[in-house]
Chain A
C-alpha cells in the first residue's frame, strides 16, 4: 500500500506533463469542432441542397465510426506524414464538429420563427439574420448541451494513445512499464481524469452563469 503510494507520488510530476498534453489536445479539438460545427450547422439548416447533402454525409460518417478507426484511418491512410498530435487534434476536432453541429441544429430548429421574421422585416438580409440574430441566441441556448462535449472529448482523448500521442494515459503506461505497479498508477490516472472532468464542468457552469441573460432561455441547464 505504502509502496504504491510512493510510486504514485514519484510519478506525479511526469504524469502532470501528460495532463498538459491532454488538455492541449482537448482544447484544440474543442475549438476546431466549434468552428467547424457552426459552419456545418449553417450549411445544414440554411444551405442549398448539395451543401445539406454534404453535411448529412459528413455527420453520418463521423458519428458512425469509432474514434479508434478514425484515428487509424487518418494515421495510416489519409495523413500519414503529419505529427501524431496534429492527427489526433484533427480527428477529435472533426468528430466533435459532427456532434456539435447536431447540438446547434437542435437549438436553431427550436428558435421561434418570429425571430427570423422580425429580423427580415427590419430589413436584414438572410446572412445578417443568421449572423446577428440566430447564431448569438443559438450559442447561449446551446451552452448547457454543448458543455457535455468537454467530458466526451476528454474521455475520447485517451484513445489518442493508440497512435502514440504522449498524453496522460500513454505516460501512465510508460510509468507502469518502468515500475510494474499497474493497479496504483492506472487508478491514479483514472482519478486525475475524473478531477479534470469535474473541474472543467465547474468552469463551464461559471461561464454559463456569466453570460446568462435574465429572462432569456429556460432553466433546463439546471437539470442534466
Chain B
C-alpha cells in the first residue's frame, strides 16, 4: 500500500538517526546471535533451577532437623554462599580450581556456581517456611505412628513448600537475571552474544536494547507463571493472600482537608 510505505519510510528515516534500520542486520546478524544466546540462557536456567530447589530443601531440612554437626555445616554452607558474591564464586570455580588440578568448562562452572548460590538462598526461604509450620503437625504425625522421616516428607514439606513459594519464585526470577554473569566465564549466553555483536558492528543500542527486551519478557513471564502457581497450589487458611487498598490517594482539589460545617 502506498500509504503504508510512506509511513514506513518516515518511521525508518526518523529512527535511522538513532539505530540501524537495515533489516539485513536485524534478521541475519542480531536476531540469530541473540536467539542462540537465549537458548543457552534457557538451558542454564533449566539445569540450575531444579537442582537449586532440591539442594535448598536438603540444606533447610539439615538446618532444622539434623543433629548439631550437620546443622552447623548447613549453616556454614548458607553463610559462605550467600555472603560471597556470585561473581567471585564463579571466578574461584573457573580460574581458581585449575590451580589445584580441576579444570571446569565455562558452562559447568557457571551451573555449579549458580546452583550453590541459588540453593543457599532457597534454603533460607524454605527454612523459614519449615519453622513456620506449627509443632502440633509433627506431634500429630508422630502420634499417628509415622516415623520422623515420614512426617517430614509427607506432612511438613508439602505445607512448608507452599509457604516457601513466594520466596523461592523470587529466587527463580533472580536466577534468570544472574545467568547473565555466565558472561564472565566465557559462556556465550544472551549478554555475551549481544556484547560480541555490539562490539563488532558498533551497534550498542540495538544489541543491548534487544537483550534487555528479552530479559524483561523472561522475567515478566516467570512472574506471571509463579503467581499462577502460587494461586493454584494455595490452601485457604494455610497460605493467606492479603490484598489491601492503600489508605488514601491524593486527588485533584483535595489538598486541604474538607471543612466540616
A-side interface residues toward B, CB under 8 Å?
A: 45-48, 60-61, 63-69, 72-73, 76-77, 108-111, 113, 115-116, 120, 123-127, 151, 154-159, 161-162, 169, 172-173, 176, 181-183, 186-187, 189-190, 193-194, 197-198, 223-224
A45-B246, A157-B85 known; 19 new pairs, CB 8 Å cut-off, are: A46-B250, A66-B181, A72-B195, A73-B209, A77-B205, A111-B247, A116-B248, A125-B256, A126-B254, A159-B87, A176-B95, A181-B99, A182-B96, A182-B99, A186-B91, A190-B88, A190-B89, A193-B83, A198-B79
Which residues from A are CB-within-8-Å of B251?
A: 48
List 7 A-B pairs, minimum CB-CB distance, nearest first: A194-B83, A183-B96, A158-B85, A66-B180, A76-B204, A155-B85, A66-B177
Indicate if B97 sits at the interface (CB-CB under 8 A). Answer: yes
- Expressed in whole angstroms, the minimum distance between the Cβ of A5 and any Cβ of chain B is 14
B198: CB under 8 A from chain A? yes
Q: Are A110 and B256 in contact (CB under 8 A)?
A: no
**Cβ contact within 8 Å between A72 and B208:** yes
With both beta carbons as reference points, the residue of chain B lying nearest to A161 in the complex is identified as: B87
- Flag if B88 contacts A125 (CB, 8 Å): no
Chain B residues whose C-beta falls within 8 Å of the C-beta of A123 in the assembled complex: 257
A194 to B84, Cβ gap below 8 A? yes
Residue on B nearest A116 in the bound complex, by CB: B247
Closest to B184 in A: A162
Say yes or no: A68-B180 contact (C-beta < 8 A), given A76-B198, A116-B247, A186-B92.
yes
User: Given the interface contacts A69-B180, A72-B191, A76-B204, does A183 sit within 8 Å of B100 by beta carbon?
Assistant: yes
Q: Among the listed stretches B23-31, B49-57, B215-223, B231-239, which one makes contact with chain A, having 4 or more residues with CB under 8 Å of it?
A: B215-223
- Considering the chains assembled together, what is the distance between the CA atoms of A6 and B153 in angstroms? 49
21 interchain pairs, CB-CB under 8 A: A46-B248, A64-B219, A66-B191, A69-B191, A69-B211, A72-B194, A73-B208, A73-B209, A76-B208, A108-B247, A116-B247, A116-B248, A125-B256, A126-B248, A151-B82, A156-B85, A161-B87, A173-B91, A183-B92, A190-B89, A197-B82
Contact of B77 with A by CB under 8 A: no
Determine whether the beta carbon of A193 is less than 8 Å from that of B84.
yes
Interface size on B, residues (CB 8 A): 54
B244 at the interface (CB under 8 A from A): yes
| Contact yes or no, A46 B177, CB < 8 A | no
Q: A108 and B246: CB pair below 8 A?
A: yes
The total of interchain contacts (Cβ-Cβ below 8 angstroms) comes to 150
Set of chain B residues within 8 Å of A73, measured between Cβ atoms: 208-209, 212
The contact of B84 among A46, A60, A125, A190, by CB within 8 Å, is A190
Q: Knowing A73-B212, A125-B256, A194-B79 touch, does A47 contact B250 (C-beta < 8 A)?
A: yes
Q: Are B88 and A197 in contact (CB under 8 A)?
A: no
A64 and B216 form a contact (CB under 8 A): yes
A60 to B223, CA, bound (A): 11
Q: From DSSP, what is the main secondary structure of chain B's interface residues? A: helix
Task: State whether A187 touches B191 (Cβ < 8 A).
Answer: no
**B215: nearest residue on chain A (CB-CB)?**
A65
Known contacts A125-B255, A158-B87, A186-B95: A113-B247 contact under CB 8 Å = yes
State the B residues within 8 Å of A (CB): 79-80, 82-89, 91-92, 95-100, 124, 128, 131, 177-181, 183-184, 191, 194-195, 198, 204-205, 208-209, 211-212, 215-216, 219-220, 244, 246-252, 254-257
Complex contact B91–A182 (CB within 8 A): yes
Cross-chain contact of B92 among A48, A68, A154, A187 (Cβ < 8 A): A187
With a cutoff of 8 Å between Cβ atoms, the chain B residues found around residue A46 in the complex are 246, 248-250
B97 and A183 form a contact (CB under 8 A): yes
**Complex CA distance for A186 and B220, rounded to whole angstroms:** 35
Of listed A151, A154, A155, A161, residue having the most chain B CB within 10 A: A155
Q: How far is the CA of A116 from the CA of B252 in the complex (A)?
A: 18
Q: Which residues on the B side are within 8 Å of A111 (C-beta)?
A: 247
How far, in angstroms, from A153 to B157 measured CA to CA in the complex?
Answer: 32
Q: With A and B bound together, what is the CA distance between A224 and B97 in angstroms?
A: 33
**Chain A nearest Cβ from B248, distance in angstroms:** 6
Bound CA–CA A196/B252 (angstroms): 48
A residues in contact with B249, CB < 8 Å? 45-48
Let me know if A68 and B88 touch, CB within 8 A.
Answer: no
B85 touches A193 (CB 8 A): yes
Instruction: Give complex CA distance A180, B128 in Å.
Output: 42
Distance in Å from the Cβ of A55 to the closest Cβ of chain B? 13
